[in-house]
Structure 1
Amino acid sequence: MAPCSSSYSSMHHMRISEKDNIKLRKPIVEKMRRDRINSCIEQLKVILEKEFHKQEPNSKLEKADILEMTVNFLRQQLQAGVCQGDYSQGYSHCWRDSMRFLSSSEASVPPLQGLQRQDQKLQQVQRGSSSSRGPVWRPW
C-alpha cells in the first residue's frame, strides 16, 4: 500500500510543478511577444525615419507615430493600386474599341493580325494577374 501512496504523492508534486512551470513561462512568452512587436516597430522606424524627419525635423519618433505613418503609407499604396487597376481597365477598354473599329473597317489593314495577337496576349496577362492576387499574407 505504501508504494501507491508515494506514487500519488509524486504525481501530485509533478502537477504542481507543471502549473508552476506554466506560471514561470507566461512572463517569458509575453516578453518574447513584446520583443517581436518592438523589433518590427524598430524596423518600420528605420524605413520611415527620413520621411518623418522631413515632416517634423525636431520631434522624437514615437511608436504611435511610426504605426500611424505606416498605416497612412499602406493606405496610399492601396489607393495607388486601385488607380493602377483603373488605368489598366481604361487601357484595355480603349484597346478593344480600337480593335473592334479596325476589324469592322472596310479598308484592309495588314498589321491587323499582329494587333489581334497582341490583344490575345494582353487578355491572357490580365486574366493571369487578376487570378494571381490572393489574400494578404500575415505571419500569424
Structure 2
Amino acid sequence: MAPACTRDSTVSMLSAKDKHKLRKPVVEKMRRDRINSCIEQLKVLLEREFHKQDPNAKLEKADVLEMTVVFLKQQLQSPSSHAAHMEGYSQCWKETVHFLSSSSIKDMSLSHLQRLRSPQPLSQDHSTNKQALWRPW
C-alpha cells in the first residue's frame, strides 16, 4: 500500500518561495477584511453625521474615510472640545482638593506628620541601639 499524501507532507516539501505564494493571498484577504471591518465601524459610529449631509446616499468606503477625516478635523478644531477638556480638568482638580481636604484624610495626615516630626533620640553607643538610623550624609 502506498503512503497517503497528506497536505502537511506536501506543504513541508514546498520551498520557502512556494509557501510564501500560498500564504500571500490568505494574508492579503485578512488585511482587506480588517480594513473593511474598521470602515464599517466608522460608518456605524458616525452614521448620524453622515445622514446629516446626505440621508439617501449609499456611501462608498472612500466616502466614509473622507467624511471621517472632515468630522475629526472639525472636532479637534472646535473651541467646544477645548472648553470641555478644561471643564473636565477643573472638575477633576476640585474633586481632588475636596478629597484631600476631607477630615478623615486630615486626621490621618496630621497623625502621620506628628510621628515623623518627633525625632527619636539616637544613642551615642551604637551597640545598645539596634535601630539606629543610617543616613548617607
TM-score computed with the length of structure 1 as normaliser = 0.46
- Higher share in helix: 1
Larger radius of gyration: 2
TM-score computed with the length of structure 2 as normaliser = 0.47
